[in-house]
């Protein structure tokens, strides 16, 4: 017996910190998203701010945090497995030839108090490595607007920069074929009858690794604590598509969807450079067909172009 307490051993249920709610996003009289600082995350799960719960206008919960299969999967946010050797995703580090190894290299993302606006906020964040150095600076913008009684729009924009330069890696860039996750990530709760598709691909096998300006996830959501029901999430990422970054998709092993900044090779950020990515999501009640989804994409992004 080691004589260590559960807190000293770092088990999740003994973690002393708890998340602090920073922002509550509301539309009319309904709360559609909560932004948390991530203090309730244990160190080996790479603490960071995130959105959870995210809900449809009817209240269906379409995000999950700290699921039993991956404690480090937290709602909607940004996470990168390797920034100059520091781990900002959580869990084990992929080592080619060995698989995932739990190393003492986990970082933490901390931010200033969000600056609130009408239906939006901005935040300055530091990505602090395991050695205490600042690996990245981030300017984050999050906004929310109603579309109609069935749907609303979530904007998540991130600007990553560093004075010294950075190399961003993933398991995919280190040799794990198809494991190029890292960047924007949305962890869903338990889902049944999942349909995932882009304008050209359909199903997990086709969409995973596919470069497309938008992707849709339609399913029957069963959130456990929280309202369940059918919903559709459509995420547009024209910046990522223009850069040739594919979608990372998991359906059979767990429900999750994200971008891939370093799919099969490192992403190099030069000193003083800024990597900017915008993710524009529509959260709708009900299961939208492919035709309805394409109409929605055309309508929503046409309005964005007109507004710009």
Is there a domain that residue 206 lies in? yes
Whole-number pLDDT of residue 223: 86
Distance CA 254, CA 297 (A): 26
Is there a domain that residue 99 lies in? yes
Is there a domain that residue 6 lies in? no
The structure tokens 């900044």 sit at: 261
Is there a domain that residue 5 lies in? no
Question: Which residues constitute the domain of residue 255?
Answer: 17-307
Is there a domain that residue 207 lies in? yes
Distance CA 174, CA 272 (A): 25
Is there a domain that residue 168 lies in? yes
pLDDT average per 10 residues of sequence, the chain (308 residues):
48 71 95 97 97 97 97 98 98 96 97 97 98 97 96 98 96 97 98 97 98 98 90 96 97 98 97 96 96 90 56
CATH number, residue 288: 2.70.98
Whole-number pLDDT of residue 302: 64
What secondary structure, in 3-state letters, does the chain show? CCCCCHHHHCCHHHCCCCCCEEEEEEECCEEEEEEECCCCCCHHHCCCCEEEEEECCCCEECCCECCCCCCCCECEEEEEEEECCEEECCCCEEECCCEEECCCCECEEEECCCEEECCEEEEEEEEECCCCCEEEEEEEEEEEEECCCCEEEEEEEEEEECCCCEEEECCHHHCCCCCCCEEEEEECCEEEEEEEECCCCECHHHHCCCCCCEEEEEEEEECCCCECEEEEEEEECHHHHHCCCCEEEECCCCCEEEEECCCCCCEEECCCCEEEEEEEEEEEECCCCHHHHHHHHHHHHHHHHHHC
Whole-number pLDDT of residue 84: 97
Is there a domain that residue 75 lies in? yes
Whole-number pLDDT of residue 17: 84
Whole-number pLDDT of residue 5: 46
Is there a domain that residue 277 lies in? yes
Structurally, the chain folds into a number of domains equal to: 1
């Amino acid at each position: 017996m080691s004589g260590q307490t559960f807190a000293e051993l770092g088990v999740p249920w003994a973690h002393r910190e708890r998340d602090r709610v920073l922002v509550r996003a509301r539309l009319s009289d309904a709360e559609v998203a909560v932004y948390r600082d991530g203090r309730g995350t244990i160190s080996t799960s790479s603490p960071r701010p995130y959105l959870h719960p995210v809900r449809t206008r009817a209240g269906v919960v379409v995000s999950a945090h700290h699921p039993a299969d991956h404690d480090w999967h937290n709602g909607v946010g940004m996470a990168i497995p390797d920034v100059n050797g520091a781990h900002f995703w959580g869990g084990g580090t992929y080592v080619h030839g060995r698989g995932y190894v739990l190393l003492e290299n986990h970082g933490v993302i901390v931010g200033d108090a969000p600056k609130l606006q009408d239906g939006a906020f901005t935040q300055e964040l530091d990505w602090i490595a395991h050695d205490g150095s600042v690996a990245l600076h981030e300017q984050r913008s999050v906004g929310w607007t109603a579309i109609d009684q069935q749907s609303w729009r979530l904007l998540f924009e991130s600007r990553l920069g560093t004075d010294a330069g950075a190399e961003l890696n993933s398991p995919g860039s280190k040799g794990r074929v198809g494991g190029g996750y890292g960047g924007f990530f949305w962890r869903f709760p338990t889902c049944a009858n999942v349909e995932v598709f882009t304008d050209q691909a359909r199903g997990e096998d086709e969409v995973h690794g596919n470069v497309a300006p938008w992707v849709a996830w339609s399913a029957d959501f069963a959130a456990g604590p929280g309202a369940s029901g059918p919903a559709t999430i459509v995420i547009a990422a024209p910046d990522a598509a223009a850069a040739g970054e594919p979608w990372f998709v998991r359906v059979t092993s767990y429900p999750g969807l994200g971008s891939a900044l370093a799919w099969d090779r490192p992403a190099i950020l030069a000193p003083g450079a800024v990597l900017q990515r915008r993710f524009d999501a529509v959260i709708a009640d009900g299961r939208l067909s492919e035709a309805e989804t394409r109409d929605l994409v055309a309508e929503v992004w046409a309005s964005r172009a007109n507004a710009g």
